[in-house]
Chain A
Amino acid sequence: MSDGQSGDGYRAQTPEGGVPLAGDDPILLPDPATDALLRMVTELTAELWVERDRRMVLEDVLVDAGVISSATLENYVPPESRRQHYRDERDALVQSVFKELRRVVATAAVRENGR
């Protein structure tokens, strides 16, 4: 197991000795890419659950209030202004889920530049 950013982080975190602590963002799987993938899947599932929670609550509230039916939701076509908002939200989701890939690139850049 490697420790990602360690060095000074270690000493600051263990002023009286003890077990050396891993620094920020340790890599725990043998392959950094697989490590990042597991983190991405976990983050993705969290985002999925957040959305499901929101949707379930929203639909239940609206149906209970008699505002909409499930059929109205299924058949809705958004105007262009809302479509742009949805695209922005989509891009933010992709950034959130796939940020680990950028971390792998940044780490590789540091490693390669140090050679």
Chain B
Amino acid sequence: MTPEQALIPEASRRADTAYLDFVEGIREFVLNERDGLDHDIDQLFAALEQRRGKAYASYDEVAEVMDRTAVGPLRNRLMRTQQEMQWRRIVATLEPKRAALEAELTSYEERGPGELLLDPAFQTPDYANVHFHLQPGGYHKDTLAGYLYHYSTKVFFRGLNDSDAIHKGAAKPTPVPADGQVNRILDLGCSIGQSTTALKEKFPQAAVWGIDHSAPMLRYAHRRSVSLDIDVNFAQRLAEDNGFPDGHFDLVYSMILFHEIPTRIAEEVVQEVARVLRPGGLFVAHDFVSSNNSTPLQLYHREFDCRYNGEPYAQQFCHSDFQGMMERAGLKLQRRIGDGYGFMNTWWAER
């Protein structure tokens, strides 16, 4: 077992572990790239397109086929149900341990390495008042939000991220500024700090800060990084108003933040990134692909995810001009890279 795996919350009962293992199995049944239900749906559309002699060119065309064949509603019913089952059981299995887990978070607050800066006067913005991915209480209302979230990602990623492999894999190719200097790094919307620690492993000489609006997530992130003995810092601050001095960072990083905030805020965040980056510093963002680069079938799945899986801002982001935001902020796009999975892009931009 890896150190990261050892930190995944444990269920209270073996029956809960088995139940959540089943939910993971449902996700595998739908999402397996070679043999899943989604693969069957892709094949269905390929066959239909071959027969009609042209591709489905719009969301509406795809939705009509999905509804007519009942394939779409059945798939959507199953995906919504597995999310509901997952959250119900994760909440139920952690609830008996609530007092012990809250005490655990408290016991780690003053421990190092690394600092945890919480703001007792912090006002959560309205736009963050969302039950993202149907998580009860969203990211900030339940003191155990970090534990709930972490267990849910074990199910969501079907075990593939139990050792932070996705976050480490994303951080690994992070470029350095032209002068090679990376002394300070800022991780925006760091959640439970998996990118933050991955960045520290990639750049061990740098001081790394992770910021997020959610105190429960940050407390969990700190408990996790201390347990891993990785020297990173966390602060309760907004990505659009982070409070760091001008030109402070060599690298600003975000991992799937922008699709979870309104476009208006995204514009402000990019302006703030430009403010805290030093000249020559780099902005690296991983997020969903633009709708312009999505197939109608991908658009169909995304619409379901937005509407039925607590992603209200993802469509806004996917239809936005992210490159234009960077240009308006004075950031110069260097590269845009697809990650090979067909739903993520990486942007590198220089100040």
Chain A residues near B (Cβ < 8 Å)? 1, 12-22, 26, 28-30, 35, 38-39, 42-43, 45-47, 49-50, 53-54, 57
Contact = CB atoms under 8 A, between A and B. Distances in A.
A50 B77 contact: no
Interface string B58-75: 000000000000100110
A53 B262 contact: no
Interface size, B (range): 35 or more
B77 A39 contact: yes
Contacts of B22: 45-46, 49-50
A30 B73 contact: yes
B73 A16 contact: no
| A15, A20, A38, A50: residue with the most chain B Cβ atoms closer than 10 Å | A50
Contact of A29 (B74, B306, B308, B313): B74
A38 B129 contact: no
A38 B70 contact: no
A19 to B, nearest CB: 4
Nearest to B82: A42
Contacts of A53: 14-15, 18, 21
Contacts of A17: 262, 312, 316
Given A19-B303, A49-B22, A42 B312 contact: no
B18 A28 contact: no
A26 B262 contact: no
A19 B316 CA distance: 8
B19 A13 contact: no
B312 A19 contact: yes
26 contacts: A13-B131, A17-B262, A18-B316, A19-B314, A20-B312, A21-B130, A21-B306, A21-B312, A22-B307, A22-B308, A28-B73, A28-B77, A28-B308, A29-B74, A29-B77, A35-B77, A38-B78, A46-B22, A46-B85, A49-B18, A50-B18, A53-B14, A53-B15, A53-B18, A54-B14, A57-B14
B81 A42 contact: yes
A19 B78 contact: no
A13 B307 CA distance: 11
A43 B143 CA distance: 28
Contact of A12 (B80, B129, B264): B129
Query: Among A18, A39, A47, which residue has the most Cβ atoms of chain B within 10 A?
Result: A18
